Amino acid sequence: MPELPDLEVVREFLGRVLPGEVVAGARVARPIVVRDLVSEGASALVGRSVSGVGRWGKYLWIDLGPGMCLTVNPKLAGRLAWYRAGERTRGRPALVIELRSGRELHYLDAKDMGQVYITHRLDEVPGFAEQGPDALDPSLTVETFAARLARFRGEIKGVLTRQEFVAGIGNAYADEILYEARISPFRRRTQLTAAEVERLYEAMRTILSEAVAVLRERVGERIDLEVRDHLRVHGRGGARCSRCGRTISELRARQRITSFCRGCQPGTLVRG
Averaged pLDDT of the chain: 95
Considering the domain delimited by 4-124, tell me its CATH architecture.
Alpha-Beta Barrel (3.20)
What pLDDT was estimated at residue 271?
A: 46
pLDDT for the residue numbered 248: 97
Amino acid 71: pLDDT: 98
pLDDT score at 272: 36
Contacts of 253 (CB under 8 A, 6+ apart): none
Q: Catalytic residue at 256?
A: yes
Taking alpha carbons only, the member of 125, 173, 203 closest to residue 8 is 173
Neighbours of 271 (CB within 10 A): 8
Residues in the chain, pLDDT under 70: 268-272
Q: Which of 55, 58, 189, 236 is catalytic?
A: 58
Check residue 269 and give its pLDDT. Answer: 63
pLDDT confidence of residue 90: 87
Which part of the chain has CATH 1.10.8.50? 142-260
Please choose, from the candidates 103, 74, 72, 79, the residue with its C-alpha nearest in 3D space to the C-alpha of residue 93.
79
Catalytic residue (choose from 30, 188, 199, 256): 256
Residue 157 annotated as catalytic:
no
142-260 maps to CATH 3.40.640.10 = no
Residue pLDDT, tens place only, 209-249: 999 999 999 999 999 999 999 999 999 999 999 999 999 99
CATH 3.20.190.10 maps onto the chain at 4-124
Spot the catalytic one: 3, 8, 176, 180.
3
Q: How far apart are CA 171 and CA 234, in angstroms?
A: 9
Task: Tell me the three state secondary structure of residue 44.
Answer: helix
Respond yes or no: is residue 75 known to be catalytic: no
Q: Is 266 considered catalytic here?
A: no
